[in-house]
Amino acid sequence: MTATKGLEGIVATTSSISSIIDGVLTYRGYNIDDLAEHSTFEEVVHLLWFGKLPNQEELSELHTRLEKNAAIPSAVVEQMKLYPSDANTMAVLRTAISALALYDEHANDTGHDANVNKAIALQAQLPTVVAAFARIRAGKEPVPPKAGHSIAYNFLYMLTGEEPSASAVSAMDKALVLHADHELNASTFAARVTVATLSDMYSGIVSAIGALKGPLHGGANEAVMMMLEEIADLDHVDDYIQSKLDNKEKIMGFGHRVYKNGDPRAKHLQKMSRELGEASDNLKLYDMSTRIEALVTGQKGLKPNVDFYSASVYTMLGIPRDLFTPIFAISRVSGWTAHILEQLDNNRIIRPRAEYTGPSNQLFIPIQAR
């Protein structure tokens, strides 16, 4: 038995949800470029869960079901008021989603239909949880979602209590489409491993949130913004990046386990970053980002991943940086739940082996003699 570090190149399951082949990302066979340009997040959610793009009637039905599930139990809101206001937002999300399970009488029903209902509830409730905590920690009351609007609209609306602009809703919707699923990424794998024991869907999502939190995965978008804030000025980019590269430090938002010639999602986010900068007549973050890209790609051959331009996009939408990774979760919960449904429709416990590298033939010495 020989281990492969980080399971690189190991094919651990079959899946018909999304694929990365020759650097092209598809959801159920649809190129991400087409979906990003032409589809809404709710259409993508339908595609991931039910295997097909919805017709108008199916889409309306999904909107209605999401809308009906968007509120969170008042007990969970009250609990969130007890969380430290400076708590890590991914830890808050992980805790609040775990708490939601306590108020769902079907939490432990792992049947397909019950799980579809839970997928809808989780998709609808994650944005409400994130926006509610953002307001609670600022001493404000949560704003309930508004009927008749998309998840992207409502997330922005619940954050501020104000009607978001059409361009902000469109940018947020596109970001949600781009983050929805990504083959067997670390958090999706974590979700599948958890539910494959026949644990419940909430446990799977809590596992996934924990995995996404790390800076080598979803946490990179926040780390990118911290870097941009630290650099602070276009004139400082070269020195800062050069010193990081010389010290062999990682530049957040670059590199990918699967894509070696660039992440197909990054170009959409780059375009959005430029457009938002132009619209606000402030291209500072965009210019800093493109300069960083030129240096890192030029010297290391590493290309930006989905997290790199997300940072400037979300900042230009007025979103605090510690909500970036929770936004990733708001989108990716669609993929996590699709993978959980797929795993459980043809389940086998996931239990790989380890190559043992410890000592052998140890002689046992009683504690008195050690």
> CB atoms < 10 A from the CB of 300, how many?
12
Of 2-31, which residues contact ligand ACO (CB under 6 A)? 6
Residue 302 touching ligand ACO (CB under 6 A)? yes
Residue 253 touching ligand ACO (CB under 6 A)? yes
Nearer residue to ligand ACO within complex by CB, 118 or 182: 182
Among 65, 106, 135, 250, binds ligand ACO (CB under 6 A): 250
Q: What is the DSSP letter of 24?
A: E
Contact 264, 32 (CB under 8 A): yes
Tokens of 152: 């992207």
Q: What is the DSSP letter of 3?
A: -
Of 181-220, which residues contact ligand ACO (CB under 6 A)? 216-218, 220
Closest to 293 (Cα-Cα) out of 302, 285, 284? 302
Residue 273 touching ligand ACO (CB under 6 A)? no
Which residues, in sequence order, are CB contacts of 188 under 8 Å at separation 6+?
181, 182, 208, 332, 335, 336, 339
Nearest residue to ligand ACO on Cβ basis: 255
Nearer residue to ligand ACO within complex by CB, 124 or 175: 175
Tell me the closest approach of the beta carbon of residue 202 to ligand ACO, in angstroms. Answer: 23
Tell me the closest approach of the beta carbon of residue 242 to ligand ACO, in angstroms. Answer: 13
Of 215-244, which residues contact ligand ACO (CB under 6 A)? 216-218, 220
Query: For ligand ACO, which stretch binds (CB under 6 A), given 87-95, 120-128, 136-144, 254-262?
Result: 254-262
Nearer residue to ligand ACO within complex by CB, 135 or 250: 250
- Residue 174 CA to residue 226 CA, distance in Å, equals 23
- Residue 228 CA to residue 222 CA, distance in Å, equals 10
Among 95, 154, 305, 334, binds ligand ACO (CB under 6 A): 305
Query: For ligand ACO, which stretch binds (CB under 6 A), given 54-62, 136-144, 233-241, 302-310?
Result: 302-310
Residue 251 touching ligand ACO (CB under 6 A)? yes
Tokens of 254: 């670059």
Tokens 């869960």 found at: 49
> Residues binding ligand ACO: what is the number (CB under 6 A)?
18
Residue 310 touching ligand ACO (CB under 6 A)? no
Catalytic residues: 256, 307
Nearer residue to ligand ACO within complex by CB, 216 or 350: 216
Alpha helices in the chain (DSSP H): 32-38, 41-50, 56-69, 74-82, 89-102, 112-136, 151-160, 166-179, 186-195, 201-212, 220-231, 237-246, 266-279, 284-300, 306-316, 324-345
Residue 254 touching ligand ACO (CB under 6 A)? yes
Residue 255 touching ligand ACO (CB under 6 A)? yes
Tokens 């380890």 found at: 354
Among 252, 266, 317, 344, binds ligand ACO (CB under 6 A): 252
Q: Both ends of the chain: CA-CA distance in Å?
A: 33
Closest to 16 (Cα-Cα) out of 68, 54, 51, 64? 51
Nearer residue to ligand ACO within complex by CB, 43 or 263: 263
Spatial strand order of the sheet with 24-27 comes to: 18-21, 24-27, 30-31
Phi, psi (degrees; rounded to nearest 5) at 251: -100, 120
Residue 295 touching ligand ACO (CB under 6 A)? no
Residue 111 touching ligand ACO (CB under 6 A)? no
Tell me the closest approach of the beta carbon of residue 228 to ligand ACO, in angstroms. Answer: 14
Tell me the closest approach of the beta carbon of residue 51 to ligand ACO, in angstroms. Answer: 24
Among 28, 256, 321, 339, binds ligand ACO (CB under 6 A): 256
**SS3 of 254, please?**
strand
Residue 306 touching ligand ACO (CB under 6 A)? yes
Interacting residues with ligand ACO (CB under 6 A) = 6, 216-218, 220, 250-257, 300, 302, 305-307
